[in-house]
Every structure is written in structure tokens, then in C-alpha cells.
Amino acid sequence: MFDNFLIHTFHDGNCLQAYKIFGAHFETHEGKKGVRFTTYAPNARSAQVVGEFNQWGETPCYMERYNNGGIYTIFVEGVKEFDMYKFRFETPQGDIIDKADPYAYFSELRPGTASKVYNMEGYRWHDSKWIKNRTKNYDCPLNIYEASLGSWKMKRESEGEGDDGEYYSYEELIDEIIPYVKKMGYTHLEVMPLTEFPFDGSWGYQATGFYSATSRYGQPKQLMKFIDACHQEGIGVIMDFVPAHFVKDSHGLHMYDGGFVYDYNDYNRRYSPWDSVYFDLGKNEVRSFLLSSVEFFATYYHIDGFRFDAVSNLIYYEGNKNLGENIGAMEWMKRLNGHMSGYHPTVMMIAEDSTDYPGVTKPVGEHGLGFDYKWDLGWMNDTLKYFQEDPVYRQYDSHFITFSMAYFYSERFLLEFSHDEVVHGKATIINKMWGLHGDKLAQVKALYVYMMLHPGKKLNFMGNELAEYKEWDESKSLGWDILKYPDHDAFHHFTQKLNEIYLKYPALYEMDYDLKGFEWLVVDDHDQCVFAIERKDKAGNAIIAVMNFVGNTHEKYKVPVNIEGSYKEILNTDQAVYSGKNIVNPRAIRSKKTKLNEKTKLLNKDHYLEVKLAPFSACIFEVKPKKGTTKKTTKNKRNLRKPAMVDATNVKNMKKILPYA
């Protein structure tokens, strides 16, 4: 009846396909067609399945205990697809409770809480070329658009309490969001959690159904069709996944069979600050439950990457270093990343981690946690602090811009401005900028150039590309009407152009994690708050950016450069087309020979540029070496899967990276 090897690995904490044992599966038994229901409830005195097919228990369907291992199972004849059901347990205390199926593939639309029988087989995919060519993008462009599928654009917004509004379905979104993401130049769409959740206001971060794609937007095969369509348009799909905790609601995993199956036995470990319940990942069956959930979405939905939420709470209890390491959860992460690298080697594993714990992106075989990328929350916080300051004081805080490069090569970092930065009274990205509207608009453009030139893959939350002043609200659409205002329409086109440049020039992504791909050209002009960066690709082609983060104009600012040649401005944030004053560099600039007495001032470079800089601006230049000069090529011998090491000083500095964590 069951694969005993799968059951063994389930109890051993290494099962990647527990969903093949548990849940509701169509089956023919003794010539009769129906569904086999199976659940793990080791504390229950008895178990039964109740649903539409037996009038919710009027005709009892008691389950049999299988092999004395806490597994209950029953075959029920005549059950149809989409029939609703729950499991009913007699608890050790003698109470009777009903629970949704933890392994259900589909769920009743909220506020209903029942599970639904669903056949996951039979969808015909059309993305074989995409899957064959898919990589983890270490030396490829990775520019992520994070979105809430429900509130990116709504058919009808909520009109108050009790009204959920009307969402676009998975299939309808194919013609809505996919063309937009492609037109704007993003490589991947990251969707906020799709695992079923009861309360819209949790945004999916307090889930009940870890195998059930939310019914808010349609059925599982409609989600498959949506992801398939993304792949056919060259767009990858990353799914936000929440392995640290689950919703407290009575129909869910909390005290599943009257005992603590998924949660901690210890009350002091059990509950999170978000009024949810922590998974006890020291239990092998819980490890298998979540391992299998990730593998399930990778297999059945062709997900290209997972962003794991609240990894700090998996490293330390409650994310607090003083409470000690969460050994059980760390072991789970190592198993997950080890297994996924073997079975799904091109699926990206991304950690949202606010700690300074070392080796998050180091391979498991080298005593790391094995993730492919880690969000650089230190960079995000430092950068936004800098741009919130009055420019008068920025000269004293250049370290907010430069410090990230002191630790950057210790992990494989990803730069992000996510949904967390634009909710709960935190203000949107543009509204965080110092000054009035014109200055804010200028600075946010310069900020995004700095982000794009900084090493590391990129992520921006929906609405950031509109320069929205309105904070994100899950019950409302983005403020698309804002594009009727010229400044915001111009900013929208600026974002599109910046993304286009990112995709066009390998120097901006090919050597993100190689020391030879980045250099500060201007890093210590604290008084004038000017910075310049050079990025190179593997062939030695270079792109440079010069950024002026205060309100002064420079007619001939001297920028030291490595390459003698011509520098053509390919983007300037002050161009009139982007609502600027058009203080630009209209003609290609030829480098000049550095005089001997200027060598020290210009970082001992042999050549320099004289560039025009508008207030609060940034400009990007394409470099064309002078004919007859040889271009210095960079041989990238280091395996990009392995992050570069930093010296002892930088390792020491890492302890200071996240004082706000």
C-alpha cells in the first residue's frame, strides 16, 4: 500500500516526497475507484475523515492505524475531485477536533477552512527549453520584481470590512503582469507566499496549507499555467516560503491531533512574536514535512527559486543570538539545501537573514548552511539611513555607502528594497529621501543607479518603479493613476531604461562575486559626497558610474580611471526626459593624462575624466579603450559557487554590520 522506504525516510527526517504518502490520493482499490486519505497523528486516540462524501461524519469513515507508527489511513469509494474534507481526531484528553489536511493540494476559499480533493497530475508543460537552460544566475543577470499577486492590480478593490474585493485569477494575470515584467526588463518575478493562508492581512506569512496553492486566485493547474507562461516569456518565478512558523488558527497545524506534532512541546519555545507558532524542526517528521513541501513546489510547479523568510529565527531561537543557536532548524536547512542541490541543482535557494552568522551561502560540505544567496539587509538599512539624512551631514556618514564592500565577499549577497521597507508607516522609498518632491525624485534616481552599480543581484518591490508616495496596502491596487503625472511617468521610464542597461552590459552582473569585477574610483571625497564605481566583465569591458549625493553642481569633476579612452554617457538621472534639468555630458569624454603632482589625489591613476555633475545625480558611462591600447582582461578562475574570502580585519568588521538586527 505504501512505499516503506518513504515511510522510513519520513521518520528519519530526510523525506523529500512525503506528499506521496500523506494527503488525499486517487486510487483504485479492489476494483473500486475512490480516494485514499492518510495523515500523521501520533497522539490521537482515533481518527476519521469527514467530508461532503459522508455528510461530514454522519456515515463514519474511521481510519486505520498503519504499522503502529502514528499514521492513519482509509480508502473511501466514490470520492470526487473538489470534494471538501477534514480529519477528525479524538485527542488524548478525549476532545473531538476537526483539522484541515496538512498535505492537501487545494483548499476551500477563505473564510472556509476545509481541504479539497485535487488531482495534481495531467498538466502538460511547455517550458522544457527554459528548464534545460536554467541556472542559479551567479554570473547571469538577476533583477527581481517582488509582487503581491492580489494587490499588484485588482479587478475591484475592497470597499470596507467584510469585503475582500475581487482579484485577478492566475490565468488572467498571464495577460496582465507577465507583459509588464518583461517590458520593464526584470528577469524574475518573486511572488509573496502562495501557500494557503486564512487572513489576507498576514500577506501569506502565516500559512496553513504548505502544499496548497492559495485558492484566492484559482486552482493549482491555473497556477501551473501562469508559471509556464512566465517561462515561455523568459521570466523566472521565485516563491516566498515561510519555514519558521505557522498560523495559530484552530483548523491548522497547531496542536494538530491534540498533541504537539508540528510545534514545540516546550511552551517557552512554542509561540512567536507574530502571534503564530514556531515549527519544531528538531522533530524528524516536521523536517520531512517542510523538506517535501519545498521539493513539491519545485517539482509540480517548476518554481525557479525560493526566498526563505525569517531565517534569523532558524539560526537563533526567536532570532536572538543571546537565546542560542537553533540546532534543529540549522540541521534542517543543511539537509534542505544539500538535498535540493542534488535533486534540483538549478533552483535558487535565497535566505532572508538579518544576522551576522557566517557561512550562510557557504556549501554544506564546507560547513555552511548551503544557500545560494543572502539578502543584504545591512546594505539596505545603511543606504536608506544615508539618503534620509540632511545632505549637510552626509559628509560625516560616507561609511553608510562604503561599508558594505568591507564584508560583501564574505557571502553571496543580494541587494533588496522589499515590501518590508514600504509598509507599517515606514514610508515608501521615494518618501524616505530627504527634501521636497523635486529633491526626493532626483535622489531616488541616483539611489537606484548606485544600487545597480553595486555588486550583487537586485530585488525591488512593486510600486518602487512608480516612485509611489502611498505605502503598500494589501487590500488595494498599486497607484497606477500616478503615471498621469509627468514626474512619475518619467521615473517609470527611467527605471525601465536602467533595467535595460543592466541586461545589456555583462559588467553589471557577470562578476558580482569576484573581487576583480569591482573598484571604487572615488571613495573618499567625503566633503563633496561624490562616489565613482568601476565594474568589469570577464573580458575586461568596463562600465563606470559617478554619483553626486548632495545638491551642488560640478562643471569639471575629476574622476580617476583605469582605462585610457573614450567615455560615452549612456544614462544620466538629470536628463530632461527623466524630469531633470539636463545638466548632462552630451558628448563622449576622452580621458586625460594625469599630471605627476595630481597622482596621489587621483588614486595614482594614469588617467582621469572631467565630468559634469548635476545636484543629486548619477551618470553611467560606457568605456571604449583607445585604439592601440590593450584591454586588461580578467580571468575568472574562481568557482562562482564559492564566495571569496575576506581578510581578518573585514571578518572582525562583520560583527558590526547589523547592530539593528
Tell me which residues are annotated as active site. Answer: 309, 352
Strand-strand pairing, 305-308 and 236-241: parallel
Q: Which residue type occupies 596?
A: L
> Cell 526626493, residue?
440
Residue 225 near residue 123, CB atoms below 8 Å? yes
Determine the Cα–Cα distance for residues 503 and 508; give it in Å rounded to an integer.
8
Determine the Cα–Cα distance for residues 398 and 385; give it in Å rounded to an integer.
11
CA 407 and chain centroid, separation: 21
Q: What is the helix (H) or strand (E) element at residue 276, kind and residue range?
A: none
Residue 445 near residue 405, CB atoms below 8 Å? no
Q: Which residues of 175-207 are buried (b: 16+ CB within 10 A; e: fewer)?
A: eebbebbeebbbbbbbbbbbbbbbebebbbbbb
Determine the Cα–Cα distance for residues 583 and 611; give it in Å rounded to an integer.
10
Q: What Cα–Cα distance (Å) separates residue 173 from each residue in 70, 128, 287?
A: 42, 22, 34
Cα angle for residues 291, 297, 301 (degrees, 5° grid): 165
Residue 37 near residue 24, CB atoms below 8 Å? yes
Q: What are the contacts of 519-527 at 24+ separation with CB within 8 A?
A: 519/562, 520/402, 520/405, 521/546, 521/559, 521/560, 521/561, 521/562, 521/603, 521/605, 522/546, 522/559, 522/560, 523/398, 523/402, 524/398, 526/395, 526/396, 526/398, 527/395
Order of strands across the sheet that contains 71-77: 23-29, 32-40, 71-77, 64-66
Dihedral sign (CA 660, 422, 492, 510)? positive
Residue 70 near residue 10, CB atoms below 8 Å? no
Burial class (CB in 10 A: 0-12, 13-18, 19+), 377: buried
Determine the Cα–Cα distance for residues 559 and 544; give it in Å rounded to an integer.
10
Determine the Cα–Cα distance for residues 90 and 76; give it in Å rounded to an integer.
20
